[in-house]
């Protein structure tokens, strides 16, 4: 699943690549009113949301297709071992079939959004880029900000489409076009590289539950802290300052993880806007804790 080696962080973080990966509500509204709007994908996902499709049906961007994260952007279910994590990557053929049903072609412009200020939609951005699609952007601020600006919504579902996109597996074992980390690689990533824990700080330190619960050597930098009070991505200057605090400008390789590979994808996204490449530990803490439990059980049996 992983590439041969993670890419190094670049020292040239003075550049701002935000427009390559994000689109503002105002710019998207203009594009939707034009003759060739982008394909819209609605990724309703957040912990504790019992029925994301019902929330989508209650209101979404006009023409947006609902995308179930766990079955399209992941291959989750009881058929996968716990050591693969809660949201392992989808099979290329399954993902390709779903994307064609959304009317996506090889040259499609795609905008993904969610009900969580982009924190979940970033998983869609990452998976589609991993699958070889080049023009994928996240709606800055998500659906909540869009509605707050008085922009239109719809309760109608778009018709199924017939796209022709052909995904391109990369590498001898079908790895994607973005770098990943395996559990073994995550275990030895630090201190030579910087491994970022994108979960909320309380999950990193687990002060109320006893010992810290994070991968040894990891640095806590919650993805939620990359957003302002409106749910918009912080200015590049603020993101650069956070990167410096984490030691990401030293040329060391960068990896990210979270609970199940969603918030960590957002961290990869935000770092990309300031010119820093990062590898995603897709299995994240869900895979790490399962592997740790299995190792402890094996020791107990010896």
Asked if residue 3 is part of any domain, the answer here is: no
- Among residues 102, 124, 148, the one where a domain terminates is 148
Classify 236 as helix, strand or coil. helix
CA distance 291 to 190: 18
Question: What's the confidence (pLDDT) of residue 48?
Answer: 80
Contact (Cβ atoms closer than 8 angstroms) between residue 197 and residue 219: yes
Pair 118, 229 in one domain: no
Q: What is the reported pTM?
A: 0.91
pLDDT tens-place string over residues 150-176 = 999 999 999 888 999 999 877 666 678
Supply the CATH number for residue 87's domain: 3.40.250.10
Residues of the chain with pLDDT under 50: 1-13, 294, 296-302
146-to-29, 53, 116, 154, 273 alpha-carbon distances in Å: 9, 19, 12, 12, 21
Residues 136 and 56 in one domain: yes
CA–CA distances in Å: residue 118 to residues 46, 97, 264, 273: 11, 24, 12, 14
Give me the number of domains the chain comprises.
2
Pair of tokens at residue 164: 């022709």
The confidence score (pLDDT) of residue 35 equals 83
- Same-domain pairing of 140 and 189: no
Tokens coding 20: 């390559």
Residue 104 lies in a domain: yes
Contact assessment for residue 56 and residue 93, using Cβ atoms and an 8 Å cutoff: no
Range 160-175 burial, b when 16+ CB lie within 10 A, else e: eeebebebeebeeeeb
Strands 279-280 and 219-220: unpaired
Claim to verify: residue 118 and residue 40 sit in the same structural domain: yes
User: Do 190 and 104 share a domain, yes or no?
Assistant: no
195 and 274 housed in the same domain: yes
Q: Could you write out the DSSP letters of every residue in 53-112? A: HHHHHH-B-TTPEE--HHHHS---STTS-GGG-SSPPPPHHHHHHHHHHTT--TT--EEE
Q: Select from 123, 148, 173 the last residue of a domain.
A: 148
What is the chain's Cα-based Rg?
19
**Does residue 100 share a domain with residue 35?**
yes
Q: Is residue 116 part of a domain?
A: yes
Catalytic residue from among 119, 254, 258, 290: 258
Beta bridge partners of 113: 42
Q: Is residue 190 included in any domain, yes or no?
A: yes
Quote the domain boundaries for residue 117: 18-148
In a domain, 8, yes or no: no
Question: Are 120 and 213 in a shared domain?
Answer: no
281 part of a folded domain: yes
Answer yes or no: is 157 within a domain: no
- The three-state secondary structure class of 299 is helix
Flag whether 48 is in a domain: yes
3-state class of 156 per DSSP?
Answer: coil
Q: Are both 139 and 189 inside the same structural domain?
A: no
Please tell me the distance from the alpha carbon of residue 195 to that of residue 5, in angstroms, as a whole number.
14
Are 33 and 124 part of one and the same domain?
yes
Please indicate, yes or no, whether residues 214 and 94 belong to a single structural domain of this protein: no
Of 131, 148, 165, which marks where a domain is finished?
148
Same domain, 139 and 202: no
Q: Is 301 a catalytic residue?
A: no
Q: What was the pLDDT predicted at 81?
A: 92
CB 123 within 8 Å of CB 112: no
């Amino acid at each position: 699943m992983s590439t041969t080696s993670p890419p190094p962080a670049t020292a040239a973080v003075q550049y701002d690549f935000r427009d390559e990966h994000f689109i503002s509500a105002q710019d998207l509204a203009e594009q939707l009113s034009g003759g060739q709007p982008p394909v819209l994908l609605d990724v309703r996902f957040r912990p504790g949301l019992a029925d994301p499709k019902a929330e989508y049906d209650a209101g979404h961007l006009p023409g947006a297709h609902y995308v179930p994260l766990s079955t399209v952007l992941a291959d989750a279910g009881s058929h996968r071992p716990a050591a693969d994590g809660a949201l392992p990557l989808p099979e290329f053929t399954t993902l390709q079939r779903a994307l064609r049903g959304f009317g996506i072609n090889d040259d499609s412009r795609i905008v993904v959004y969610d009900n969580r200020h982009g924190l979940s939609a970033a998983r869609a951005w990452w998976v589609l880029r991993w699958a070889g699609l080049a023009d994928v952007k996240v709606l800055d601020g998500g659906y909540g900000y869009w509605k707050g600006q008085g922009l239109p919504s719809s309760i109608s579902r778009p018709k199924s489409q017939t796209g022709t996109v052909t995904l391109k597996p990369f590498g001898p074992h079908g790895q994607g076009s973005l770098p990943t980390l395996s559990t073994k690689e995550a275990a030895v990533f630090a201190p030579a590289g910087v491994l970022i824990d994108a979960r909320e700080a309380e999950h990193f330190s687990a002060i109320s539950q006893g010992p810290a619960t994070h991968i040894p050597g990891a640095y806590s930098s919650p993805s939620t802290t990359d957003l302002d009070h409106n749910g918009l991505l912080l200015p590049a200057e603020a993101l650069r300052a956070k990167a410096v605090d984490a030691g990401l400008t030293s040329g060391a390789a960068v990896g990210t993880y979270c609970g199940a590979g969603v918030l960590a994808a957002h961290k990869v996204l935000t770092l990309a806007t300031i010119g820093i490449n990062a590898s995603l530990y897709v299995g994240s803490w869900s895979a790490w804790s399962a592997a740790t439990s299995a190792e402890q059980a094996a020791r107990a049996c010896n």
